[in-house]
Amino acid sequence: MTIRNPKDFWAGLMFMAFGAAFVVGALGTPAFLDSLWGGPILQGYQLGSAVRMGPAYFPAALGGILVLLGAVIFLRSLASRLKGEAVKLHLPFGLLDLVVVAAVFAVLGEIAERLGISKDYAMLASAAVMAVLAAVFRPDAKPIAMILASSLAFAYLLVPLGLVLATVALVFVGAFGGHEFRWKEVTILTAVLVVFSVLVFVEGLTLPFPICPAFVTNCPIH
Amino acid sequence: MHDIVHNLGIGFVEVFKLQSIALGGLTIPDVPFNILMCLVGVLLGTLIGVLPGIGPVATIAMLLPVTFKLSPVGALIMLAGIYYGAQYGGSTTAILVNIPGEASSVVTCIDGYQMARQGRAGPALAVAALGSFFAGCVSTLIVAMFAPPLAEVALKFGPWEYFSLMVLGLVSAVVLAHGSLIKAIAMVILGLLLGLVGTDVNSGVLRFTFGLSELADGIGFVTVAMGMFGVCEIIANLEQKEGREIFTKKVSHLWPSREDWKRMWAPILRGTALGSALGILPGGGALLASFGAYTLEKKVSKYSHEFGKGAIEGVASPESANNAGAQTSFIPLLTLGIPSNAVMALMIGAMMIQGISPGPQVMSEKPALFWGMITSMWVGNLMLIVLNLPLIGMWIKLLTVPYRILYPSILVFMAVGVFSISNQPFDCFLMSLFGLLGYICVRLECEPAPLILGFILGPLMEEHLRRAMLLARGDAMSFLQKPISAGFLVASVVLLAAIALPALRKKREEAFAAEE
């Protein structure tokens, strides 16, 4: 079997997966799976009745509709008569790549948990692994990997390292995602953005961000 | 008539009010704060309108956390200014670079750029600005006239009417989305479901939170909007090869000729009328208005053979329409509390941040806020015409800033904005996740805009559905027994059925194909 319309094929699968996840999340895992497992895997919420709807009612109904719509899109893709550029899917990564990245986040998070380290470091490490993997194996996915990694780097570095260094990390990692990387230009841009963020966000709008790294005891800027 | 003058009077007093503000520990007395916020809004709006690759949705989302610190009136005036300001700025880029600076100026590219190539960039820019200004003035009056009676009707709405109205709103959003109808419906439902994450208000049960305390209050709207629009836009722009061709010939003699004046006034009137009407529709707004106006003008104009070769009508009409549509789309928001597009959904978020629950009661409970906001639109339009005609040179210079400088700056704003919502890194993680989801959706040709609308309406819809069913003792027919509610539902069904008809579907596809 050939996939005639990959865009609809994957969109249908995605909607079915989301719909099913919400149905299972609302109602709990089906009884036959529970019995195979030997106990309830996931407990749902109360369904209620049409008069007194419980927390599961609305999401389960919508999830069901989403599964149906996904199925229609999926089946339609198999019978699609569209050809050429219109149905061509341009994605710089595949489902497997997504699974690998998700696994990296899960495994590193689990390791951090076992070792008793803050999960924030696991997130940072995972973002770094994702960026390196993309740069090495999926050059086309470099923009998306770098942009996502840069905002993760900023988020998880802000508290331990302060606004200045977090902004430096954000701009540099983000700039690696572009077409060309000019050291001088990026350095100047970083300097401007650091000064701007400190003045506007911390001084002007009084956002409670640390400016210097946590280990620096007497920060020159307050 | 007397009422309108009185109400606009309240608005003017509010807009020009002097107040003391606190800035970093200092208190400055007697500052015309609201008018300053209006200026900031329209400046920002023009800026992002001119710059391709960043739209009003991402900008307003970025600034939402900042508005925590502002007064409600100032914050809303500024955010509104961004939306209609972007309609002015978008035409500049469309005319000079042949790239829509803003989605709603896509059709302006067609004739505007041709005019620029014929050395008539000046008149093209002038007609866009003048048309927008005229449309802005008229639609401000329309908002002032139609909002009060509509709000009065809306006060009588029960849960049935609200639920059915939201269904109609979502259906219209779906019909107006690009591409496949069924995918757009699926995106709306996914949005509704994502909106339900968090604590269920009726039972207090935590739903779909994976045991994460960060999700107990639900997924932040700003986080979703920034991920699906902001992050996603940056990635999509980076994947395109850079290499914009900029039309940097000196723009001279702005003022249109006598012949131009004669040809442009009728299209401006038609564009304003159509734009105002399409803006009010749920699911409408600036984008739909500009497309509709261009198509209409092509049909009725004496010069239809010149369209595509630099017809001034092809600039005048859509540019008036998009500004009119941008402003009248505030009507459903201000009177019903229901957003008609993604920008209005963000405005709801802004109102909620300020502790105002959007709905028909806003007008009677907070008249200064309501009328201040409407009056500010007129004042803002006045500022915009000054910003866009005499100061046009400044914006043209801005077009030469390369994207590689621009996007890291946008990233800093987004990351800081999202982090500051609750001061924890988890929101930035969610933003990245939604950036990824948005990117995948765009590649699979599923529009993110319906998802956003569903996301904001999800909890409201569930709430009204539950209340309606409880009051009607589980009788679903009650939605059809209330005349207004039944009307909304019938309208939704008719819309869906109409669009599913082969003939009309073809028309809709043609309309969207024209844009690409």
Which pLDDT does position B263 carry in this prediction? 86
pLDDT digits (tens, 9 = 90+) for B196-245: 998 888 888 888 888 788 888 888 888 888 888 888 888 888 887 655 55
Contact by Cβ (8 Å): B102, B50:
no
Residues 23-62 of B with CB under 8 A from A: 23-24
Shortest Cα distance, chain A CAs vs residue B232, angstroms: 9
Instruction: Check whether B189 has a pLDDT greater than 90.
Output: yes
Shortest Cα distance, chain B CAs vs residue A181, angstroms: 9
Which pLDDT does position B173 carry in this prediction? 75
Higher pLDDT, A207 or B445: B445
Taking chain B, what is the end-to-end CA distance rounded to the nearest angstrom?
45
Asked if B444 lies within 8 A of A206 by C-beta distance, the reply is no
Chain A contact for B69, CB < 8 A?
yes
Q: Confidence band (pLDDT; 50, 70, 90) for A63?
A: very high
How many Cβ atoms sit within 10 Å of the Cβ of residue A136? 9
pLDDT, average across residues A73-87: 78
Q: Please report residues of A whose CB lies closer than 8 A to that of B234.
A: 147
CB contact set of B486 (below 8 Å; sequence gap of 6+): B164, B479, B480
pTM: 0.84
Give the helix/strand (H/E) hosting B198.
Answer: strand B198-199
Shortest Cα distance, chain B CAs vs residue A32, angstroms: 22
pLDDT, average across residues A133-150: 91
Rounded CA separation B289/B107 (Å): 11
DSSP-H helix ranges across A82-204: 95-115, 119-137, 142-176, 183-197
Residues 338-367 of B with CB under 8 A from A: none
CB contact set of A163 (below 8 Å; sequence gap of 6+): A194, A197, A198, A201, A202, A209, A210, A211
Instruction: State the best of B27, B163, B167, B189 to mutate against chain A, taking most chain A CBs within 10 Å.
Output: B189
Of A75-84, B150-159, B471-480, B502-511, minimum mean pLDDT range: B502-511
Residues 378-407 of B with CB under 8 A from A: 403-405, 407
Instruction: Check whether A219 has a pLDDT greater than 70.
Output: yes
Of the spans A62-66, B55-59, B291-295, which averages the highest pLDDT?
Answer: A62-66
Asked if A186 lies within 8 A of B408 by C-beta distance, the reply is yes
**Chain B, nearest residue to A187 by Cα:** B405
Using the structure block, give the residue that is written with the tokens 């067609």: B110
| B23 backbone dihedrals φ, ψ, rounded to 5° | -130, 105
Q: Confidence band (pLDDT; 50, 70, 90) for A110?
A: very high
Contact by Cβ (8 Å): A16, A67:
yes
Rounded CA separation B163/B168 (Å): 9
Which pLDDT does position B18 carry in this prediction? 80
Instruction: Check whether B430 has a pLDDT greater than 80.
Output: yes
Instruction: Check whether B515 has a pLDDT greater than 50.
Output: no
Asked if B404 lies within 8 A of A180 by C-beta distance, the reply is yes
pLDDT, average across residues A124-145: 91
pLDDT digits (tens, 9 = 90+) for B79-118: 999 888 888 888 888 888 777 777 777 788 888 888 888 8
Asked if B404 lies within 8 A of A155 by C-beta distance, the reply is no
ipTM: 0.93
Domain boundary assignment for chain B: 6-418+426-513
Instruction: Check whether B147 has a pLDDT greater than 50.
Output: yes
For B293-348, give the DSSP string: HHHHHHHH-TTGGGTTS--THHHHHHHHHHHHHHHHTHHHHHHHS--SSHHHHHHH
CB contact set of B312 (below 8 Å; sequence gap of 6+): B111, B115, B123, B124, B127, B256, B260, B263, B264, B267
pLDDT digits (tens, 9 = 90+) for B447-476: 888 888 888 888 888 989 999 999 988 888
Instruction: Check whether B325 has a pLDDT greater than 80.
Output: yes
Instruction: Check whether A108 has a pLDDT greater than 80.
Output: yes
Shortest Cα distance, chain B CAs vs residue A218, angstroms: 21
Which pLDDT does position B510 carry in this prediction? 59
What would the two tokens of residue B26 be?
């200092």
